[in-house]
Amino acid sequence: MAIRRILTVPDPLLKTVSKPVEGGVTDAHRALMDDMLETMYDAPGVGLAAIQIGVPLRIIVMDIAPKDAPREPRYFVNPEIVWASEELKSWEEGCLSVPEIYDDVERPARVKLRYLDYHGAVVEEDAEGLFAVCIQHEMDHLEGVVFIDHLSRLKRDSAIRKVRKAQRIEA
């Protein structure tokens, strides 16, 4: 396993529409998911999409277990939202690709998902709360969308400027 570098805005790769995994989940995909999970725990974050480490495949890892609770890694390959509630909910989001920026985003409160798990089995699952927020945030990444794209242009531009500036200082 290896920790990979997480891309940050305005890296144009983050705008990529990721491609479905074809022909089932292989050991190479599982090795990628292992690296993604290690990278996510190291960051730390509660979710990570493959494109955030520069791999344009429709793969997500997540762990929304409370701090200090046992780890509960989850893996989503080719996830689809098959139903979304009309009811919306606003949640303060952050993103490892937009470090230290937090703002409210409104999304469906509940969704029904279909995806392949770590072993390639088809799973259908209902999501609400942080799980629903996180999977929709990650699935946006698969479409090349970052949470700041849901904000006003003023807030988005300000966020990108702050990230660039912080990285100039780090470098």
Query: Active-site residue numbers?
Result: 138
Q: Is 105 in the site for Ni ion (CB under 5 A)?
A: no
**Which of ligand GNR, Ni ion, none does 94 bind, CB closer than 5 to 8 A by kind?**
ligand GNR
Residues that bind ligand GNR (CB under 6 A): 45-49, 52, 93-97, 133-134, 137-138, 141
User: Cβ closer to Ni ion: 77 or 95?
Assistant: 95
Q: Report how far residue 59's alpha carbon sits from residue 11's, in angstroms, rounded to the nearest whole number.
A: 19
Residue number closest to ligand GNR, CB atom? 45
User: Cβ closer to ligand GNR: 37 or 122?
Assistant: 37
Residue number closest to Ni ion, CB atom? 95
Q: Reduced to 3 states, what is the DSSP secondary structure of residue 37?
A: helix
Q: Is 95 in the site for Ni ion (CB under 5 A)?
A: yes
3-state secondary structure 64-93: CCCCCCCCCCEEEEEEEEEEECCCEEEEEE
User: Cβ closer to ligand GNR: 43 or 123?
Assistant: 43
User: Cβ closer to ligand GNR: 6 or 116?
Assistant: 6
Residue 70 beta carbon to ligand GNR: minimum distance, rounded to whole angstroms: 18
**Which of Ni ion, ligand GNR, none does 56 bind, CB closer than 5 to 8 A by kind?**
none
**Which of ligand GNR, Ni ion, none does 108 bind, CB closer than 5 to 8 A by kind?**
none
How many residues are listed for the chain in this entry?
A: 171
Q: Which residues pair with 21 in a beta bridge?
A: none
Closest-CA residue to 145 (of 16, 7, 10): 16
* Alpha-helical runs (H) found in the chain: 27-42, 129-142, 153-170
Q: How many CB atoms lie under 10 A from the CB of residue 91?
A: 17
Query: Tokens for 60?
Result: 């997500």
Residue 119 beta carbon to Ni ion: minimum distance, rounded to whole angstroms: 25
Query: Tokens for 46?
Result: 């509660």
φ, ψ of residue 23 in degrees (nearest 5):
75, 25
Give the binding site for Ni ion (CB under 5 A): 95
